[in-house]
Amino acid sequence: MMRFLTVVALAFIAGCSQVQHPPQPVAVNIVAINDLHGYLQANTFSYSDANGEHKVRAGGIATLGGMLAQLRQQDPHLLFIGAGDLVGASPPLSAMWADEPTLDALHMMGMNLSAIGNHELDNGKAEFLRQVNGGCNSSRPTKACQFRPAYGGSGVPYIAANLIDTDTGKTLLPPYRIKTVNGVKVAFVGAVLRDVAAVVSAKGMQGLSVQDEADSINQLIPELEAQGANAIVAVVHQGGATPEAFDQQDCQHLSGDIVDVAKRLDPAVDVLISAHSHQGYLCKVGPLLVTQGSSFGHLMTHLTLDVTPGQHHVTRIQATNLLADPAKYPADPKLAALQQEVEARSNAVLLQPVGAIAVASITRSADDAGESPLGDLIADVQLAVGAADGAKIGFTNTGGIRNDLALEPGQRLLNYGQVATVQPFDNAVVAFDLSGRQLEAVLNLQWKTDEDVNFLQVSKGFTYRWDASRPLNSRVVPGSIRLNGKQLKAEGRYRVVMNSFLAAGGDRFAIFKEGRNRRDLGISDQEALIDYLKAMEQKGQPVGSASSAGRIVRVK
């Protein structure tokens, strides 16, 4: 009987096509988040639009879950995807548990897939695979499986077409996944920024290499089309920026590294979901829509693709960036309960007092010369750790300082949570020797272009001048580098100290890799800062300043 009905139904459909009804497009709904960075709680979202500057609270797993529930009511076949950096560089609330509560939350939210980001690799490929697949065999034994005795894994299938496992010569992850929705096939193909090795520690990149994003995606297009993909979505952990508002339709002024990727993608790619630069946008690069949903759970990018069955054809794409406003979406009860459990179990640790500071806030914002008060303090902390090992100069990277060190109104002592947020990576502190010539060369690497400048923060006693009118690779004024008032000698040997990310040539400071007589000082940068603040508190000498110390001097 069933067979008979099927035959009748097929005959009916065949009859339809004979009178040449064109196939009708079906709607595919996709929501994307990127750069969640373990933000379990709502947090401050600053943005500007035609009405000026705004500061609102947005995000949090309970609200994101509530948004998903509402969107799934409208379309139960909604696809929920990530664009990388979902964990890593997280607030202590998540970081202290090796991000397992965030990974549990993604599992509960039913994330269908994600492109891999750089921060998923912070602790190497084995630890990344543990995050997905579960287990307690971790490189972070004091954090892993502490929240739950047996961690089950996020189960989120990651994709990356350009990340190669050098042990096998193949991609570490499947390059793409095809999801069938309402009878059409949507292919998602992933990639991580090709410069990932410059932003992940050398240890994290062990056994991995990376290829060009656009080339890796483009070479898969024939395979995706052979598999009958009706739409192709590229998900790339790389980004850009625009002065336009996060919800501006078809914004026109996207700049940054993602633009080159977008321009070189095969025209068969229907939309590019981007990430990494923590910006919200719905821009066009030529005919291609390029989106990003800010960071920290502030925005969800909602895409509706009208896809024609039977062919590779997307007739229309609608895109919006939805603000994850806790007042607008009822919290998902299960995710709210998870958040409360994490808060209750973390608070005892996070609220432990560490020490006072001399001003209400030590900012990480740099002055015109590139120096920040918090950069000064952290470089001094590194020097204090390295002094016993003979170090004379401390360095730190601006990008590694993730928050200001600031007291709440009425608060006297900073707590562990506030300090840990400033240096969440928990990198080791490493000392080694460099020549004066190498030091001058490394300082000159700070200027890649006039716009792309990445300043090193330096410890007390180390000073130099730079001049914006000099050529890019020699902006440091020759002869201006001094240590405790004495000019640096090109052939002199200077012991330096810094975090292990920078020591391994991170943030494009490759010369640091050439250092000799390396020693891991057996303490993390986060512990070092906490110990320093505690020690200075005991001495009654709270540290820090509201303005930078003038170690870096800009001449022009």
Candidate list 117, 175, 400, 515; residue touching Zn ion; CB under 5 A: 117
Map tokens 């590139």 to a residue.
370
Pick from 337, 343, 322: which is nearest to 62 by CA?
A: 337
Q: Of the two residues 117 and 373, which places its CB atom closer to Zn ion in the complex?
A: 117
The span from the CA of 434 to the CA of 511, in Å, is: 9
Binding region for Zn ion (CB under 5 A) out of 100-108, 114-122, 387-395, 441-449: 114-122
DSSP letters along 319-362, please? EEEEE--TTTSPPPHHHHHHHHHHHHHHHHHHTSEEE-BSSSEE
CB 84 within 8 A of CB 117: yes
CB of 445 to Zn ion, least distance (A): 21
**Residues, the chain:** 556
Tokens at 180, concatenated = 């069938």
CB of 418 to Zn ion, least distance (A): 24
Q: Which residues from 257-276 bind Zn ion, rule CB under 5 A?
A: 276
Binding region for Zn ion (CB under 5 A) out of 118-126, 228-236, 482-490, 514-522: 118-126
CB of 160 to Zn ion, least distance (A): 13
Map tokens 């949903």 to a residue.
293
Q: What letters, b where the CB count within 10 A reaches 16 and e where it falls short, cover 27-54?
A: ebbbbbbbbbbbbbbbbebebeeeeeee
By CB under 5 A, is residue 177 in contact with Zn ion?
Answer: no
CB of 279 to Zn ion, least distance (A): 12
CB 544 within 8 A of CB 357: yes
CB 436 within 8 A of CB 462: no
- Distance of CA 365 to CAs 112, 263, 455, Å? 38, 33, 11
Binding region for Zn ion (CB under 5 A) out of 113-121, 215-223, 337-345, 432-440: 113-121
Q: Of the two residues 85 and 371, which places its CB atom closer to Zn ion in the complex?
A: 85
Q: Of the two residues 399 and 436, which places its CB atom closer to Zn ion in the complex?
A: 399
- What letter represents residue 171's amino acid? T
Candidate list 94, 102, 118, 218; residue touching Zn ion; CB under 5 A: 118
Binding track, positions 59-88, relative to Zn ion; x by CB under 5 A: --------------------------x---
CA atoms within 13 A on the CB side of 88: 24
CB of 86 to Zn ion, least distance (A): 10
Q: Of the two residues 118 and 301, which places its CB atom closer to Zn ion in the complex?
A: 118
CB of 196 to Zn ion, least distance (A): 8
List residues binding Zn ion (CB under 5 A): 85, 117-118, 276
